[in-house]
Amino acid sequence: MTFKKSLLAVAGSLTLAVSSLSISTAVQANPHSDYVPYQASPSKPSNSCKWYQAWCHTKYAVNYAEYLVKKAQVDSTNYANRYNTKYPIVLVHGVSGFDKVLGVVEYFQGIPSALRSGNAVVYTPNVTAWDDAYARGEQLLDYIENTVLPETGASKVHLIGHSLGSPTSRYVAGVSPEIVASVSSVNGINYGSGFADWGIDNIVGGPLQGPAEALLNLTGNVLDALAGNPEYSNDALESIKFMSTEGALAFSEQFPDGEPTSYCGNGESLVNGVHYYSWGSTGTFTNLLDVSDPLLALFDQLGYYNGEKTDGVVAKCSQHWGQNIRDDYRMNHLDATNMLFGLHNLLETNPKTLYKNQADRFRGMDL
């Protein structure tokens, strides 16, 4: 780990310690400016008229008609705002990721628009494609504090992180829990990746390290430039080390909130005012037209997974964090964000539905 990264890790630990002591003094939680609370249905009028009371029946008919109109209005408002969570949703991409390339190709393919169809306020920041969760977490924290919160008037955000986006989100929740309502881990690298472990053993320190590192850094720099952040500097080696089992476990020692009590189990769903959830999947070949499937199948075969099912990058149980919603969707690592171009398993739940369900869950919790 470089000196700068060491300072970030130390600073994160100190901030985490301070925040755990001062969480009770957090500022009042404010919703975003476009938040529309759930509206309760009006009470249905009862008919207590005797059969011969014509005027009473007339009044009941009028009241019932008014009830139907009000109910229709309430139902229409609630449906229009079905994903309108109290706090903005921030989708955090994983390794070698981006928000949107050339304004066309989305990392979370079609998911922001699906959420916005229910009036959700959604942000998709671009953090460095190849780096560890400490550096990416600082970038995400800066984006939330200087873009999301000022623009929306909200005091908190919902973080939904895919892959390396999970520990990146957990970093922010750890150092600044007062601005995070929830962290949802999607196919998260929470216990590391068996493929990263393979890379550490077979690439790092050998003759292929230089070319591989240069290629990954170049890929990251190009992706960041196309996403509008040419100033980012990628560090593929630090990213791979972080995603190893050793790196992920070291991070979790500093940021344990939501950690399962046992491997493949559940962790506390509410820590320091932050709700923790996760969902994940297994499988590699899910769509004959998806050119990424063979690559993920190769990663699955090369990685150190000890026979455990994987999504091609992360083992099934490694995807658990906080309250696990489900871990056996038939999707690979990229399907989880509806990549590539929405080519997922047509016999499985549409990935967009999982994000909509999570927004609906938070709305039902008044979050």
Give SS3 for 61: helix
**What does the block give as tokens for 99?**
């928000």
Answer yes or no: is 249 within a domain: yes
Active site residue 32: no
Mark which of 80, 100, 123 sits at the end of a domain: 80
The per-residue pLDDT for 116 is 98
Predicted confidence (pLDDT) per residue in 161-213, tens digit: 999 999 999 999 999 999 999 999 999 999 999 999 999 999 999 999 999 99
The per-residue pLDDT for 29 is 85
Q: How many residues does the chain have?
A: 367
- The model's confidence at residue 126, banded by pLDDT at 50, 70 and 90, is very high
CB 130 within 8 A of CB 95: yes
Q: Residue 96 maps to which CATH number?
A: 3.40.50.1820
Which residue in 99, 311, 327, 335 is the catalytic one? 311
What CA dihedral angle connects 280, 282, 283 and 288, to 10 degrees? -20
Give SS3 for 328: strand
The per-residue pLDDT for 312 is 96
How far apart, in whole angstroms, are the C-alpha atoms of residue 243 and residue 73? 50
User: What average pLDDT score do residues 113-128 get?
Assistant: 97
Answer yes or no: is 31 within a domain: no
Active site residue 333: yes
The per-residue pLDDT for 239 is 96
Answer yes or no: is 32 within a domain: no
How far apart, in whole angstroms, are the C-alpha atoms of residue 19 and residue 257? 13
- The model's confidence at residue 5, banded by pLDDT at 50, 70 and 90, is low
The per-residue pLDDT for 36 is 96
Q: Which helix (H) or strand (E) holds 159?
A: strand 157-162
Active site residue 311: yes
Predicted confidence (pLDDT) per residue in 290-349, tens digit: 999 999 999 999 999 999 999 999 999 999 999 999 999 999 999 999 998 889 999 999
pLDDT at 21 over 50: no
Which residue in 99, 158, 163, 344 is the catalytic one? 163
User: What average pLDDT score do residues 47-62 get?
Assistant: 95
Answer yes or no: is 18 within a domain: no
Which residue's structure tokens are 């009042």? 28
pLDDT at 9 over 60: no
Q: Are residues 61 and 162 in the same domain?
A: no
User: What average pLDDT score do residues 65-92 get?
Assistant: 97
Which residue in 32, 275, 333, 344 is the catalytic one? 333
112 contact partners, CB below 8 Å, separation of at least 6: 91, 106, 122, 124
Calculate the average pLDDT of the chain: 92
Q: Are residues 152 and 119 in the same domain?
A: yes
Q: Are residues 53 and 178 in the same domain?
A: no
Which residue's structure tokens are 């309760």? 40
**What does the block give as tokens for 81?**
């705002």
What is the domain count for the chain?
A: 2
- Between 21-25, 100-104, 173-177, the lowest mean confidence (pLDDT) is in 21-25
The per-residue pLDDT for 3 is 46
Q: Are residues 146 and 243 in the same domain?
A: yes
**What does the block give as tokens for 171?**
């970093």
**What does the block give as tokens for 57?**
């029946």
CB 4 within 8 A of CB 132: no
Q: Are residues 70 and 129 in the same domain?
A: no
Q: What is the pTM of this model?
A: 0.91
How far apart, in whole angstroms, are the C-alpha atoms of residue 89 and residue 94? 16
Cα Rg of the chain, angstroms: 23
Predicted confidence (pLDDT) per residue in 232-254, tens digit: 999 999 999 999 999 999 999 99
